[in-house]
Amino acid sequence: MPYGEKTKDELIKFSGNIFEFFEKQQVKAVVMACNTTSANVYNELKDNYPFKIYPIIQSVTNILAKLPVTTIGVFATQATINSHAYQKGINTLNKNIKVIETACPDWVKIVEEKRENDADSLTKIKTKTDEMMNLHPDKIILGCTHYPYLINQLKQFAPENIFINPAKAFVEFIKEDLRKNNLLSDKTSNGNEKFYVSANPENFQKAGSMFYEITERPELINL
């Protein structure tokens, strides 16, 4: 961690190990929630496994391309920006939307270390937001899982309604696709959850508390 600083070969290796683990668990579908891996390794790995894979960028760009806007900004990790995945995905479907991409490599660590309100962090957030706003985007995609957790800081420097959390559209896309493919679980099922980590289960449980209550200690596995 963070994935945004890894090479493509490293990302393929990490993701392949994770998918092999999921294959052993006999899962029916895998959500590739990470924008960086979605941008860089989905095409290389998508046909190698027996389960359905949902990559966030490829799943939501068809929705974003239909927005009634002329300019969309993208905040993302360096690896995602280097791939131009959002730009390619949107412009393949709508060439009339201008896509502006800005890498924010410091933001993941700011969230993970809970330094959102430190003076240095606010300066870094403001600098990137000002750069983007000077280009007059109609909307700005928060193209990393961590970035929506900076919304309280971001809205100090730009209107809150300009920001798009693609995860919201992603959830609806997955639900509808599972339904179409008869993979959606019975609504009467209670379901269950299990968390696995490759390092620092205590740290994961603590960091995860910012968005979800993890009641049981995650299981440490070797990938």
Q: What is the pLDDT of residue 206?
A: 85
Q: Are residues 123 and 218 in the same domain?
A: no
Q: Are residues 200 and 140 in the same domain?
A: no
111 plus 161 within the same structural domain: yes
Largest CA distance in the chain: 50
Whether 220 is covered by a domain: the verdict is: yes
The tokens for 136 are 């007059």
201 in a structural domain: yes
Does one domain contain both 88 and 137? Answer: yes
Same-domain check for residues 72 and 122:
yes
| Average predicted confidence (pLDDT) for the chain | 92
> Is 92 in the same domain as 154?
yes
The CATH number linked to 157 is 3.40.50.1860
The pLDDT tens digits for 74-126 are: 999 998 999 999 999 999 999 999 999 999 989 999 998 889 999 999 999 99
Assess if residue 7 is contained within a domain. Answer: no
Instruction: Specify whether 156 is located in the same domain as 64.
Output: yes
| Residue 15 located in a structural domain | no
Specify if 6 maps to a domain: no
Phi/psi at 163 (5° precision): -90, 140
Does 134 map to a domain? yes
Residues 6+ apart with CB under 8 A from 177: 52, 54
Average pLDDT (137-157) is 96
Global confidence as pTM: 0.85
Same domain, 123 and 158: yes
Is 13 among the domain residues? no
Shared domain check, 132 and 69: yes
d(CA 15, CA 200): 19
Question: Which range marks the domain in which residue 68 is found?
Answer: 59-166
Three-state secondary-structure class, residue 158: coil
Q: Return d(Cα 7, Cα 78) in angstroms, integer.
A: 10
Buried/exposed code over 23-50 (b: 16+ C-beta within 10 A; e: otherwise):
eeeeeeebbbebbbbbbbbbeebeeeee
Query: Do 82 and 136 lie in a common domain?
Result: yes
pLDDT class for 223, splitting at 50, 70, 90? confident
The total domain count for the chain is 2
- Closest listed residue to residue 28, CA positions, set 208, 167, 177: 177
pLDDT of residue 65: 95
Are 153 and 196 found together in one domain? no
Return d(Cα 107, Cα 116) in angstroms, integer.
9
User: In this predicted model, what pLDDT tens digit does every residue of 29-54 receive, in sequence order?
Assistant: 999 999 989 988 999 999 999 999 99
* pLDDT value at 4 more than 80: no
Is residue 18 assigned to a domain?
no
Say yes or no: 157 and 203 in one domain.
no
Measure Cα distances from 150 to 103, 110, 142 in Å: 15, 9, 10
Q: Which of 14-23, 141-150, 176-185 has the lowest mean pLDDT?
A: 176-185
Residue 29 near residue 53, CB atoms below 8 Å? yes
